[in-house]
């Protein structure tokens, strides 16, 4: 019987290193192959007039906003956001896509008083923390920069709600209830969200889709004017304070407002690059 030397630590180490080297090579090759595949597709970003990739954004002029709340009501109605009573709001379980957030100021007596109401939708950040953390890709950034949400895929871990610096995401703590009379007014273009999922403002993605489809059917480009009041909140605003549009279209009203010296974005220092700009004579950030 021939006797052989059994495995030594050195031989195990050499196997280990060879395996690692092989794995690294495989990963690099897979990456290179995929890069080539993507490059050959030439990119598939949706383009607007002049061949630009669209970047949806919003501008809210606080100097003309009266804080009437029409945007909140319109958003709730358009997007089938369940009605939250005062009980839910006090309980911390209210669902809101567009909120009026009060900016408080300390009075002489020491009490804090709301001095201004800020319409606050999801900011559809260019660098969205909520998208980074989602474990199942239920929220993602689409080709036009919208931070979209796949309701059906959400597992309800609420990581996105704690990651959003602006707390613009709502969790369905209970099964939404719709009174029978209200059911007739539900928007068929927007899916109802079940209990246990996170939801948020979509910039009325269904309206964006519709306007693009209509333009395609009529074989024309989408014109900036039909975008300005596209979202439900912008459409309902009686003061013309909310303007929506393509930020990459330099001639659009939203792009011009965003370039205004009065424009600022919420907590830009966080690096999230929100696509919603506020306009004020003096910068009074929350």
Partner 1 sequence: MKPQDRTHPPLASLRLPKLGPRGIVLLYLLPLAFVALGVYAYAQQRLHGDIVTDMRSVGQGGAAWGLYIMFDIFFVGLAATAIAVTTAAHLFRVRDLRPLSRIAEVLAVLSLVLAGMCVMADQGRPLVALWNLPHYARTMSPFFGSFTLIVGVGVAASLVMLYLGGRGDAAWCARSGGSARWAYRVWASGYRGNPRELRRHRRARFWLSLTLFPFIVVAYSTLGFVFGTQGGRPGWYGALRAPSMLVVAGISGVGVLLAVAALLDRHLEAKDVIPKSAFVRLGDVEIILISVFLYLLAAEALTQRYAGHAAELRVANAVVFGVYAPAFWAMIGTVLVALVMLGVQFLRRKPMPALAGWAGVLVNVAVVLRRYLVVVPAQTHGHYMDYPEGIYVPNWIEVCVVLGILSIGLLVFVSFMRWFPIIPLHAYYGRMRQEIEPEPRRRVLLRGSLTGLTFVVGLVLAAFGLAMSARFGTEPFLDPIVPFSPVIFIVGLVMTIYTAAVYVVAPPG
Q: Which residues of 57-76 are buried (b: 16+ CB within 10 A; e: fewer)?
A: bbbbbbeebebbebbbebbb
Where helices occur in 43-171 by DSSP H, the ranges are 70-78, 86-91, 129-133, 159-163
Nearer to partner 1, 11 or 187 (CB): 11
Shortest gap between Cβ of 249 and partner 1 (angstroms)? Answer: 24
CA distances 232 to 15, 16, 116, 236, Å, are: 63, 60, 22, 6
Shortest distance in whole angstroms from residue 62 CB to partner 1: 14
CB of 23 to partner 1, least distance (A): 4
Q: Which is nearer to partner 1, 103 or 253 (CB)?
A: 103
**Nearest to partner 1 of 130, 242 (CB atom):** 130
Nearer to partner 1, 37 or 181 (CB): 37
Give the residue with the Cβ less far from partner 1, 159 or 178: 159
Closer CB to partner 1, residue 195 or residue 221?
A: 195
Nearest approach, Cβ of 225 to partner 1 (angstroms)?
A: 32
Contacts of 149 (CB under 8 A, 6+ apart): 138, 139, 198, 199, 200, 202
CA distance 221 to 61: 27
Please tell me the distance from the alpha carbon of residue 105 to that of residue 131, in angstroms, as a whole number: 33
Q: From CA 10, how far away is CA 22, in angstroms rounded? A: 18
- On the 0-12 / 13-18 / 19+ scale of CB atoms within 10 A, 165 is middle
Minimum distance from residue 64 beta carbon to partner 1 (Å) = 21
Distance in Å, CB of 261 to partner 1, minimum:
24
Q: Report the half-sphere exposure of 256 (CA within 13 A, side-chain side).
A: 6
The least distance separating partner 1 from the CB of residue 146, rounded to whole angstroms, comes to: 12
Smaller CB distance to partner 1: residue 148 or 263? Answer: 148
Instruction: Check: CB of residue 16 under 8 Å from CB of residue 9.
Output: no
Question: Is residue 203 a contact partner of residue 56, using CB atoms and an 8 Å limit?
Answer: yes
């Amino acid at each position: 019987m021939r006797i052989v030397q059994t495995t030594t630590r050195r031989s195990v180490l050499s196997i280990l290193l060879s395996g690692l080297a092989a794995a690294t090579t495989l990963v690099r090759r897979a990456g290179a192959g995929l890069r080539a595949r993507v490059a050959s597709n030439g990119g598939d970003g949706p383009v607007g007039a002049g061949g630009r990739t669209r970047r949806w954004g919003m501008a809210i002029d606080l100097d003309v906003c009266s804080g009437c709340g029409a945007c909140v009501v319109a958003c709730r109605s358009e997007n089938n956001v369940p009605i939250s009573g005062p009980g839910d709001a006090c309980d911390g379980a209210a669902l809101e896509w567009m909120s009026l957030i009060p900016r408080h100021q300390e009075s002489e007596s020491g009490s804090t008083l709301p001095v201004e109401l800020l319409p606050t939708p999801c900011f559809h950040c260019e660098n969205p923390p909520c998208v980074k953390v989602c474990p199942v890709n239920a929220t993602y950034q689409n080709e036009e920069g919208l931070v979209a949400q796949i309701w059906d895929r959400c597992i309800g871990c609420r990581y996105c709600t704690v990651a959003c610096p602006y707390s613009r995401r709502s969790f369905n703590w209970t099964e939404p209830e719709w009174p029978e009379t209200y059911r007739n007014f539900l928007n068929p273009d927007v899916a109802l969200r079940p209990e246990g999922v996170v939801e948020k403002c979509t910039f009325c993605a269904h309206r964006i889709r519709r306007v693009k489809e209509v333009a395609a059917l009529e074989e024309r480009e989408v014109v900036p004017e039909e975008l300005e009041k596209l979202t439900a909140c912008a459409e309902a605003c009686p003061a013309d304070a909310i303007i929506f549009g393509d930020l990459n279209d330099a001639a659009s009203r939203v792009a011009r407002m965003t370039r205004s010296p009065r424009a600022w974005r919420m907590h830009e220092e966080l690096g999230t690059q929100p696509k919603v700009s506020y306009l004020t004579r003096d910068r009074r950030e929350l």
